[in-house]
Amino acid sequence: MLPNGLCKRIIPCLDVTNGRTVKGVKFQNLRDIGDPVELGMQYQKQGADELMFLDISASVEARNTVFDLVQNVAEHLSIPFTVGGGISSLDHVKKLLECGADKVSINTSAVMRPELISEIAIACGSQCCVVAIDARKNSGALSWEVLVKGGREQTGKDALAWARQCVERGAGEILLTSWDADGTQEGFDLVMVKAFASSLPIPVIASGGARDPASFVDVFSDAQADAALAASIFHDGLFTVGDVKAVLKEQGITVRL
């Protein structure tokens, strides 16, 4: 059992555009995976602890599609789920929660207007507020830069300093995605995840690079992540959530079976 004794969470991620689930590598070369509700039901049956739905098109035109999707997901699933992508106002957050989302994830909008974190935490509770940080390693340094707009734009912001600011403003969790590892299936960025998890007083969800069940063992035991998010290995049927949890249990890592 790990020191805090809490169950480690496995969270399949569904990137959604125009009502369909897609997947790419380093946020590019997207391919169609399938219906997000059907996939969500499949992952729930496999034992997923939570689900993450990210609206990667995040356009005004797609907004009603997302609300409809959230309602559909809420009607079919009993596990908690988080919705992110293009969320820029407290009203939008409230609408998503009313539609059935358990949490919201904000990224670019939080960087552009950090006050949004505090507004969500005060109005809806910190437990609803997940701040997503897409981070890329700085060349030759043990530091990372915040990227925004789906990894397309650099900000010059130090990612760990930004994460600490998010905590101060009331974020309940940090969803930490390694831009360098995303979609590569080469393993989580353990150095980066450990730097954040060991420094922050709130849960860190590791994202980017999930390879196999052993990579989840590494990110929990070596990097101290509280949860791990994955897409490719589940979407491609390489492993099920159950496969991952079975190995974690064998290695003495506490999971909900």
Mean pLDDT in order along the chain per 10 residues (257 residues): 70 89 71 91 98 78 75 96 93 96 96 98 98 94 90 92 98 96 90 97 97 98 97 93 98 95
Within a domain: 187: yes
Q: Catalytic residue, from 15, 49, 182, 226: name it.
A: 15
The residue type found at 103 is K
What integer pLDDT is reported at residue 7 of this predicted model?
Answer: 96
Q: In sequence order, what are the beta bridge partners of 136?
A: 145
Two structure tokens written together for 97: 């929660």
CATH of the domain at 124: 3.20.20.70
The answer for 122, left when phi > 0, alpha when psi is -120 to 50, beta otherwise, is alpha
- With H, G, I as helix, E, B as strand and everything else as coil, classify residue 75: helix
Q: Give the residue from 60, 56, 47, 45 showing the smallest Cα distance to 19.
A: 56
Using CA atoms, how far residue 96 sits from 52, 101, 128, 168, 180, in Å, is 13, 6, 11, 24, 30
pTM above 0.85, yes or no: yes
Two structure tokens written together for 244: 């991952």
Within a domain: 34: yes
What integer pLDDT is reported at residue 150 of this predicted model?
Answer: 78
- Which residue in the block uniquely carries the two structure tokens 């990137």? 15
Using CA atoms, how far residue 2 sits from 23, 89, 113, 198, 222, in Å, is 32, 38, 36, 14, 11
Q: In sequence order, what are the beta bridge partners of 10?
A: 228
How many structural domains comprise the chain? Answer: 1
Within a domain: 218: yes
What integer pLDDT is reported at residue 2 of this predicted model?
Answer: 42
The residue type found at 148 is V
Within a domain: 27: yes
Within a domain: 255: no
Active site residue 134: yes
Within a domain: 1: no
Q: Catalytic residue, from 134, 182, 218, 226: name it.
A: 134
- Which residue in the block uniquely carries the two structure tokens 């910190």? 126
Half-sphere exposure of 242 (CA within 13 A, CB side): 7
Active site residue 32: no
Two structure tokens written together for 145: 């830069």
Within a domain: 175: yes
What integer pLDDT is reported at residue 224 of this predicted model?
Answer: 97
Provide the residue range defining the domain that includes 217: 9-250
Radius of gyration of the chain, Cα coordinates, nearest whole angstrom: 17
Using CA atoms, how far residue 6 sits from 87, 185, 226, 229, 235, in Å, is 30, 26, 8, 17, 27
What integer pLDDT is reported at residue 85 of this predicted model?
Answer: 87
What integer pLDDT is reported at residue 65 of this predicted model?
Answer: 67
Within a domain: 169: yes
